[in-house]
Structure 1
Amino acid sequence: MDVKKFKYFTVSSLAFGTWRIGGGYWYASHDKDKEWISAIKRAIELGIRVIDTAEMYGNGHAEELVGEAIKGFNREEIFIVSKVWPSHADYDNVIKSAKNSFKRLNTYIDLYLLHAPSRVPICKTMKAFEKLVDEGIIRFFGLSNFDVEGIEKAKDCLSRYEIVAIQNHYSLLNREDERKTLVYAERNGLMYMAYTPLENGILAKNEFLANIGKKYGKTATQTALNWYICRNNLIPIVKASKISHVEENAGAMGWRLSEEDWRAIDEHFREKSYFLDKIVSTLKSMRPWS
């Protein structure tokens, strides 16, 4: 299996995302449960052992589907990531949310993240996270949609455990985090999880990536995902509901781009990402997290 080693754990180099599996923004949908469960199972079979979910996804139904899909597999070989919504970030609600996620998953959570910055003082959230580790509900914790300053503030609240991961939006077309957060994560040994790495299919259709991929017998999707995998501390999160797409994504593992091709991709997309970075930065400053 294609893996990456961090201070406290070893995980697969690719993660399976469950956003819009089991429903959407705080609403559940059951019409494709069998298809979704089959997709998660196939991902695990192919070596994608990091499963990313959240209480908000399908109003908890995504977690239920993950819990169902992992039955029959060796639990110790699967790394489940879930997230608490920012409006639940106070101490008591964090505990309640985590325990509810635990019940839906029918197992412990390997990595628990605060989904986004909250108006609740961060120390209250961190104290709850430490309590959850003590109780065995979660193993590790981290943050999502945070910058370096936010990570440092959270870090200062801790007395017994460490922040081990950060999950942010990062792609070849959105490279804002390269300025600080990605570098910070690498220097401090944090696992950096990149969501929306294919930019909702845009990179899957990219001719430049497709041409480089031909050298390796790989698609544009596989080439893009491998570019992320080549970064030491980065795990791309990619969602797929169709078995064929799961199998294509898994084909990004088990090989590596040459340094020459990696740099060619890096340089090709660097200028193209500039204006999108500006747009994303503006949108982030307007997010009404509550």
Structure 2
Amino acid sequence: MKQKIQLPSGQNVLNLGQGTWRLGEDPSKRQQEIEALCAGIDRGLTLIDTAEMYGDGDSEELVGEAIAPYNREELFLVSKVYPQNAGNPDMFEACEQTLNRLGVDSLDLYLLHWRGRVPLQETIDCFEELKRQGKIKHWGVSNFDLEDMQELLALKGGENCQTNQVLYHLASRGIEVVLTNYLKEKGIPIMAYCPVIGQEPDLKDLVYSNQTVKEIAEAHNISIIQLLLAFVMQQDNIIAIPKASSEKHVQLNADVLDIVLSEEDMLRLDAAFPVPDQRVPLSVQ
């Protein structure tokens, strides 16, 4: 289901982007992965998420090569800084290296990859200085649970946080206990990574063998991966960023923009994989 998600800045972004975790790590797949990213951009998936951690910068370099032919203003580029680099002066050098690898002058969104030892106020101050320098347009966080967000938003400049990127999929719904409602109240969208489960083989087996999941996918004539993505994209206030390493996978992801699950479908999926009845630790990959 195609939705426009509004960031606190007022900018609207599509609820489906392109993730790049593990892209760029295998030189033999480089051209295929570049073509996949380009195919996504050509289909309107102009939000691209990467990080300095991914392949120690290899992913950012791959993205940079893929986006080079495109109009920069039509893209929405997101990258993430290591926690150990999220202070003064390290963040300024880390950001400059990210920009160089991407071949651009600025990022649309720069995220703290996860919380580390650098005080949050120092990180916010660095983000705000990068904004003043024109190196980034906005900033956000990743892998922050409720208390982390509460602390962040209470700090000077914390209200400028644009998103919280967290793991979320049908079989991992812990954020729905308290975090999603809190962020929605604050007007901060969630960016869901691993929306089709990713590197959790036991959970993947559990979902793929589930009779309800198979029946709903068959009824819509879609794959289980597409069903998982549709489930996430149909939630309020959530942007999904699945990885796709081939043009075929990108097309399958883009096709989900036209899929609408019925209320009955959603209720059946909710019954098969319910929200936990109490808080659980934030899932992180």
What TM-score, normalized by structure 1, do the two folds share? Answer: 0.87
**Cα deviations across residues 133-153 of structure 1 (Å, max 9, x unaligned)?**
111111111111111211222
SS in structure 2 at match of 1:2:
coil
Aligned to 2:216: 212
Deviation at 1:31, TM superposition (A): 2.9
Pairs within 5 Å for 1:148-167: 148-159=146-157, 162-167=160-165
Aligned to 1:245: 249
Moved more, 150-159 or 118-127: 150-159
Cα 1:133–1:205 change in 2 (3 A) is farther
1:208 and 1:105 map into 2 onto residues whose CA distance is 42
SS in structure 2 at match of 1:253:
helix
How many equivalent pairs are there?
Answer: 276
Cα 1:209–1:73 change in 2 (3 A) is farther
Residue pair 2:194, 2:242 contacting (<8 A) in 1 also: yes
Aligned to 1:122: 120
SS in structure 1 at match of 2:117:
coil
Identity %: 35
Aligned to 1:13: 15
2:282 and 2:66 map into 1 onto residues whose CA distance is 38
Aligned to 1:26: none
1:204 and 1:188 map into 2 onto residues whose CA distance is 35
1:283 and 1:243 map into 2 onto residues whose CA distance is 29
Cα 1:125–1:188 change in 2 (3 A) is same
What TM-score, normalized by structure 2, do the two folds share? Answer: 0.89
Q: Which one has a larger percent strand, Structure 1 or Structure 2? A: 1
Aligned to 2:94: 97
Deviation at 1:163, TM superposition (A): 0.4
Cα 1:3–1:283 change in 2 (3 A) is closer
Residue pair 1:2, 1:47 contacting (<8 A) in 2 also: no
Residue pair 2:124, 2:158 contacting (<8 A) in 1 also: no
Aligned to 2:139: 141
| 1:177 aligned to which of 172, 175, 178 | 175
Moved more, 40-49 or 54-63: 40-49
Residue pair 2:192, 2:239 contacting (<8 A) in 1 also: yes
2:177 and 2:193 map into 1 onto residues whose CA distance is 17
| 1:256 aligned to which of 256, 260, 284 | 260
Cα 1:75–1:180 change in 2 (3 A) is same
Moved more, 198-207 or 8-17: 198-207
Aligned to 2:66: 69
Aligned to 2:79: 82
Aligned to 1:236: 240
Matched, 1:51 2:48: yes
What is the Cα-based RMSD across aligned positions, in Å? Answer: 2.4
Amino acid at match of 1:64: E
Matched, 1:186 2:184: yes
SS in structure 2 at match of 1:270:
coil
Deviation at 1:255, TM superposition (A): 3.1
Structure 1 segments of 4 or more deviating over 4 A?
203-207
**Cα deviations across residues 225-260 of structure 1 (Å, max 9, x unaligned)?**
111111121112211212211211111112321122
1:282 and 1:197 map into 2 onto residues whose CA distance is 15
2:213 and 2:239 map into 1 onto residues whose CA distance is 19
